[in-house]
Amino acid sequence: MGSSRAYPVFRTTDAMEAWTQALRLNDLLEERGDEVTLMADVLTVEDARRFATVLPEADFNYAGSRKDPVTGESLDFGLDILTAHHRLLEPELPLSVLHYVPPGTVEDRFVRAVRQGTASIGLHGRWPDDAETDSYGHAKYDGVEVLFNCDDVNWLQPTDRHTVFVHVDKWGDLPRAEKLAAHLGSTVLGDAQHGW
């Protein structure tokens, strides 16, 4: 059991540059997952329409819990984002979306849809065994994640920067993280964080 440890290895104000660097790291995975995890907090009507265009099959939900004032039952978001009038959609915000897609399908368009809210793309896999750093790959923990408009994997530090993280085993394989950062011409930019 346990969570991966995620090390920040690259930061930029350019979302597409962050995504490009994440793909460079993804190419180093010995095994790659068959799904990409896309998540976003949707803060504006314009953001909602962009993400709904990119992810037409995704379920959008209220970002926080909402209850019926009479019955106390949980409410589900039910508007069609692409056709709902602006004034009907705006009071429903903020929304969130979590969606899984096959690799190489909509990720570039997802990155271009990011504006104000926090978003992420998660690429799971397994790093190769590396005798030089005495590191072993772990499919349960390994991967690359890009956080847009955020500096931490728990979405607690919103910012105007985009951060690429490498996920390693639950013991925090710093030598591997340092080697992966060096591949980008970077260094590890902070302490390990609890990952996925």
Q: Which amino acid is at 63?
A: A
Q: 169-172: list long-range contacts, CB under 8 Å, 24+ apart.
A: 169/4, 169/5, 169/136, 169/138, 169/141, 169/142, 170/2, 170/3, 170/4, 170/5, 170/141, 171/5, 172/5
CB-side exposure of 189: number of CA atoms within 13 Å?
16
Q: Which two tokens mark 90?
A: 């705006």
Interatomic CA distance for residues 46 and 89, integer angstroms: 10
Q: Are 145 and 122 in contact (CB under 8 A)?
A: yes
d(CA 85, CA 90): 9
- Domain containing 71 equals 5-194
Cα radius of gyration rounded to whole Å, the chain: 18
| Number of domains, the chain | 1
The pLDDT value given to residue 133? 85
187 and 181 in contact (C-beta within 8 Å)? yes
Going by C-alpha positions, the residue among 85, 97, 88 that lies closest to residue 60 is 97
User: What's the CA gap between 191 and 122, in Å, rounded?
Assistant: 19
Q: What is the pLDDT along the chain (196 residues), one digit of tens a residue?
A: 579 999 999 999 999 999 999 999 999 999 999 999 999 999 999 999 999 999 999 999 999 999 999 999 999 999 999 999 999 999 999 999 999 999 999 999 999 999 999 999 999 999 999 998 889 999 999 999 999 999 999 999 899 999 999 999 999 999 999 999 999 999 999 999 999 9
